[in-house]
Structure 1
Amino acid sequence: MSKTEVFRALHLGRAQDDPLVLPGPWDAASARVFAEAGFPALATPSAGVAASLGYEDGATPADEMFAAVARICRAVDVPVSADIESGYGLAPKELVERLLQAGAVGCNLEDSAGGVLRDPHEQAEFLAEFREEAAGRLFLNARVDVFVRGGKDPEKAVERAAAYVAAGADCVYPIQAPADALPLLRAGVQGPININTRPDGEGPSPAELGELGATRITFGPGLQRMATAALRDIANSLAS
């Protein structure tokens, strides 16, 4: 079984209180920490990787992002999915080629650019072309940016998510969807749903989100920011 097949299988047949939890490594060292802790797969956060490379979120050049993903993939034996933002303006064929070259088993693709939601029909066509080029070799997680870019309307999020599933997405990711919107999303979307939460315990727990309908849980750049805060405290204590 290929790593992509292993990764896809991790999303299937899960108990409601046992969603797939995917920590987000930002470099090779953090990836090794998460893999050694026993997580069966990882999912890079673009904002966390950007911070590790000295860029603001959304400002990482494509070449540097793919190089960072490749270093993370080389560092661990578990499957790694990559957040590649909205695709850096690259055609689906090139995105597929670069992800495979980096060693990734899948990716997140956002449906907004420059802070504006893309036309859902055009985005669905883009995802369908990506899926065709990937030919089963990559797991496609289609991000739905309604709750961060489009007025927070859950019905609108369901419509976009359903269109992306119909286009061939393996999973949909309504980023920053509130917990109370999850039952509606679950009722209207076929297949796995990715929900993000905070890793510091301030938000709903993975088990709670699973009970509401989430299939997999990610943390965005939360883990990288917690690690940076811890390092800042260490640095300040050494400097004092």
Structure 2
Amino acid sequence: MTSDFLSLHRPGDPLLMPNAFDAGSAKVLASMGFAALATTSSGFAATLGRRDGEVSRDEAIAHAAALTEAAGLPINADLENGFAATLEDVAHTYASAHTAGIAAGSIEDFTGDKADPIFDAAAATERVRAAVEAKGELTLTARAENYLYDRADLADTIARLQSFQEAGADVLYAPGMRDLDEIATLCREVDRPVNVLLLPGGPEVAQLAEAGVARISVGGAFLFNAYAGLVEAADDLLAGSTAYFDRLGPGRAAFDRATEG
């Protein structure tokens, strides 16, 4: 499953990889024909009533393994910054993810400290290398987080991702990028498949395909869309209305199709 996952990454014909947030959403998305899914740190944390960043390594790995079993598809696990301060702990995270049967996972260069959010480039590269050496057959996505933390520095982002590919990363990712020309430049300047996160006001799928993107994800957007439906139904109830029954059909039908047999 792991090698099959990497083969799905085709620049110009990107893998659409939605982010599931629980076993039910994973089953529904799998039944709709998606070839692979991802977890979402923000979405999973929300299902636990927590903020993004408040999930442990063991919880994240167990969650990704559960989604793998539920969907029967390759799952790309959002493993944040490896949940680790040391290189030894970085290695432990990715060895554990591989042992759990997870096809793929990510490592980011976020320090966990919003006052000083990004590891220096050399340290970040060593962390990627430690993950690569421990990951076995797991497909590793290395993430440069500049654009999520008000550091819209394309040159530094490209340099970081080039270092990460030299350290052995299989896929590259700079979440937060919205400018299509910058995304196209990034795709030209690296030699690994590039993932892009869809964002409001950013490029659409067809534009990203033309720019050479190989994989597209949605982050926590599907989970928060689901919560929007929950709020809408709850507002109906508070108003004394049962209008929410009128919206049950598509969701219930999708779940029934996904779980039949």
TM over 0.5: yes
RMSD: 1.6
Specify the SS of the correspondent of 2:55.
coil
Q: Deviations over 1:151-209 (max 9, x none)?
A: 201111110010000000001111111223112212211110110014xx754221211
Name the counterpart of 1:184.
Answer: 185
Are residue 133 (structure 1) and residue 134 (structure 2) matched? yes
The yes-or-no answer on 1:79 pairing with 2:95 is no
**Equivalent-residue separation in structure 1 for 2:5 and 2:26 (angstroms):** 16
Query: Do 1:74 and 1:103's aligned partners in 2 also have CA atoms closer than 8 Å?
Result: no
The range that moved more, 108-117 or 33-42, is 108-117
Between Structure 1 and Structure 2, how many residues are aligned?
232
In 2, the alpha carbon distance for the partners of 1:64 and 1:122 equals 26
Structure 2 residue aligned with 1:122: 123
Taking the TM superposition and a 5 Å limit, the aligned residue runs for 1:1-240 are 3-11=1-9, 14=10, 16=12, 18-89=13-84, 91-113=89-111, 114-115=113-114, 116-135=117-136, 137-149=137-149, 151-178=151-178, 179-198=180-199, 203-240=202-239
Return structure 1 stretches of 4+ with deviation > 3 angstroms. none
Amino acid at match of 2:80: E
Bigger mean CA offset, 201-210 vs 65-74: 201-210
2:253 is matched with which residue? none
What amino acid is aligned across from residue 236 of structure 1 in structure 2?
A: D
SS at match of 1:112: coil
Q: Letter of the 2:97 partner, please give it.
A: L
Please state how far the C-alpha of 1:150 moved relative to its aligned partner.
5.4
State how far apart, in whole Å, the 2-side matches of 1:79 and 1:42 are. 6
CA contact (8 A) 1:112 1:149 kept: no
Question: How many angstroms apart in 2 are the aligned matches of 1:78 and 1:45?
Answer: 16
Whichever of the two has the greater Rg, that structure is 2
What is the alpha-carbon distance in structure 1 between the residues aligned to residue 147 and residue 237 of structure 2?
A: 41
Q: Which runs of 5+ in 2 are unaligned?
A: 240-261
Distance 2:201 2:222 in 1: 13
Change (3 A) 1:187 1:36: same
Aligned-partner Cα distance in 2 for 1:190–1:150: 26
TM-score under structure 1 length normalisation: 0.91
In structure 1, distance between residues paired with 2:65 and 2:47: 14
Q: Distance in 2 between matches of 1:150 and 1:236?
A: 36
In structure 2, distance between residues paired with 1:31 and 1:211: 28
Distance 2:156 2:150 in 1: 8
- The Cα shift of 1:15 comes to 5.7
User: Cα gap change, 1:15/1:157 in structure 2, threshold over 3 Å: closer, same or farther?
Assistant: closer
Query: Do the aligned partners of 2:84 and 2:90 also contact (CA within 8 Å) in 1?
Result: no
Distance (Å, rounded) in 2 between the aligned partners of 1:78 and 1:88: 24
List alignment gaps of at least 5 residues for structure 1.
none
Contact kept? 1:21, 1:218, Cα under 8 Å: yes
Report the AA paired with residue 180 of structure 1: D
Letter paired with 1:168: G
Equivalent residues of 1:117, 1:150 under 8 A apart: no
Looking at structure 2, the residues matched to 161 and 127 of structure 1 have their Cα atoms a distance apart, in angstroms, of 10
The equivalent of 2:243 in structure 1 is none
What SS does the aligned partner of 1:129 have? helix
Distance 1:237 1:150, change over 3 A: closer
Is contact 1:80–1:106 with CA below 8 Å preserved after alignment?
A: yes
CA distance in 1, matches of 2:90, 2:160: 19
